[in-house]
Structure 1
Amino acid sequence: MLQVCLNGARTRMECRSLPVSARELAAEAARAVATGADDIHLHPKDSEGRDSLDPHVVAEAVTAVRRAVPSGVPIGVTTGAWATPGPEERTALVRSWYVLPDHASVNWHEAGAEQVAAVLLDHGVGVEAGIYSGTGAAGRFCASPLSRRVLRVLAEVTDTNAATAAQTAVALVEELAPVGLTPLLLHGEEGGAWPVLRVAARLGLDARIGLEDALVLPDGTTAADNVALVQEARTFLAGEGW
């Protein structure tokens, strides 16, 4: 499975082609799915371009994207603490969502992760358990009573060094071995994005790519958009870009 991560916590200052509005996210999602993405991850943003967990902002983004892509393509959003730092407020906002995504990422190293995940599960929303390398989150997640209830583990390699990211990725996968049969999506970021995608392909794991994770193609040239990244990732996953 290849997930496209359309925008992340980035701004237009970092990437001029970043989809921000609900309309832009919908158009970009449709093109990415047509190119080969199987699943969508996005960050709803407010009128100032900032990540938001506000129920109206989430509803607008999810509704627009759902209308734009074929029926059955899963759509997920973030619950990152940078959007709403307070655990109680974050949990309350997620509980107030009235248009529900198919899944949502919950970063297990953040305060309140289990509470947010429990609310999502109670509402029938799949949980992507975000496990960042180098945070100790893997151990906490493996010991969590919710570890067997999540949709998948989102193994996030924060090592951006192209020379070491693959090794860090393998170590993270090994840390997560206790979760057993839980599906695992492995991805990197910035300089580590493409080396980690190669590891995911080699291990037969789910993967993701998009402007949240990488702004450049494997040859170092700037990616025009998410479509260019998805096209390149499909080549890698087919074993043709190694």
Structure 2
Amino acid sequence: MLQACLNGGRMRDFHPALPFTATEIASDAALAVAAGARELHIHPRGPDGAETLEPEHIAETLQAVRSAVPGIPVGLSTHWRIPPGGLSRQEPIRRWTTLPDYVSINLIEEDAEDMIALVLGKGIGVEAGLWSVSDAQRFVGLKDAAKCLRVLIEINEQDIDEGLRAAAGIQAVLRQAGSTLPILMHGDEASVWPIYSEAMARGFDSRIGLEDGNLLPSGRMAGDNAELIRAALALAPR
């Protein structure tokens, strides 16, 4: 399965085609799905262009995306820096009434266990974001670990060998714990395509999009998210 990560916390100085508004995100989602993406990961924005968890903006964006690509699972970020930030970001999430299919929750964040319980209690799936061996060790010890939708192995290292070692260490912890959760693995910037290739070789799901990087495998800047998706699928095993 290939997931499209459309925008993240990036700004348009990173790429002019980054979608911000609900309408832009929905239009970009339609193009990404037409290119072959089967799930979406998005960061809704408020009127000021900043990331937001406020229920009205979440609802507006989810409704627009689901209208554009009905039946496609849509996930959101809950990362620590999204306003109001830190532990306080749990409060707007409690008020969500229009719900995503899943959210990503990073185990490096101090309230990860509480966040997992909160969103599972609302019937939302969880992608458990693991950046390191210590994140993996924390995750497998959680009482709700097996209830998560999948493990999200997120490689932030820019040195490829370091990134591959980090990925292997995380996988080892999961194996030793007997985890049977699906794995989605992806890189960031310099590691996007090497980690994507590693994910394909191991039969994992992966993701591609302007949240993670703006370059094609050739090193040329992609025109948009759809072009990144097409490039990824061209590299996938047939």
TM tier relative to shorter chain: over 0.9
Structure 1 unaligned residues grouped into runs of 5+: none
Pairwise CA distance, 1:171: 2.8
Structure 1 outlier segments of 4+, above 4 Å: none
SS in structure 2 at match of 1:195: helix
Matches within 5 A, 1:146-157: 146-157=144-155
Match of 1:170 in 2: 168
Q: Does structure 1 residue 159 correspond to structure 2 residue 152? A: no
Matched, 1:142 2:143: no
| Deviation digits for residues 63-98 of structure 1 (CA, Å, limit 9, x no counterpart) | 1101000x32100001011103231x2111111011
Residues of 2 paired with 1:114 and 1:129: CA distance? 10
The CA distance in 2 between the partners of 1:221 and 1:86, in whole Å, is 36
Number of the residue aligned with 1:195: 194
**Residue aligning to 2:204:** 205
Q: Which moved more, 1:49-58 or 1:193-202?
A: 49-58
SS of equivalent residue, structure 2 residue 153: strand
Residue by residue over 1:114-136, the C-alpha shift from the partner in whole angstroms, topping out at 9 and shown as x without a partner, is: 111111111111011111136x2
Contact 1:170 1:199 in 2 (8 A): no
Worse-superposed segment, 164-173 or 212-221: 164-173
Q: How many Å separate the matches in 2 of 1:161 and 1:9? A: 22
Structure 1 letter corresponding to 2:119: L
TM-score for both structures, normalised by structure 2: 0.95
Q: Which runs of 5 or more structure 2 residues have no equivalent in the other structure?
A: none
* 1:31 aligned partner: 31
Is the contact between residue 104 and residue 126 of structure 1 (CA under 8 Å) also seen in structure 2?
yes
Pick closer, same or farther for the CA change 1:179–1:8 going to 2, 3 Å. farther
- 1:108 shift after superposition: 1.1
Aligned partner of residue 129 in structure 1, secondary structure: strand
Post-superposition CA distance 1:9-58 (Å, at most 9, x none): 11112211101110010001011111110100000111221111111111
Cα distance in 1 for partners of 2:52, 2:33 equals 24
Separation of aligned partners in 2, 1:114 and 1:23: 33
For 2:229 and 2:143, locate their aligned partners in 1 and report how far apart those are by CA, in whole Å: 35
Aligned CA distance change for structure 1 residues 153 and 199 (closer, same or farther; 3 Å): same
Matches within 5 A, 1:1-242: 1-69=1-69, 71-84=70-83, 85-87=85-87, 89-133=88-132, 136-177=134-175, 178-238=177-237
Please say if residues 148 and 179 of structure 1, whose CA atoms lie closer than 8 Å, have aligned partners that are also in contact. no
Give the residue type in structure 2 aligned to 1:83. I
Tell me how large the CA RMSD over aligned residues is. 1.4
CA contact (8 A) 1:169 1:199 kept: no
Return the alpha-carbon distance in structure 2 between the equivalents of residues 179 and 15 of structure 1.
Answer: 41
Secondary structure of residue in 2 paired with 1:148: helix
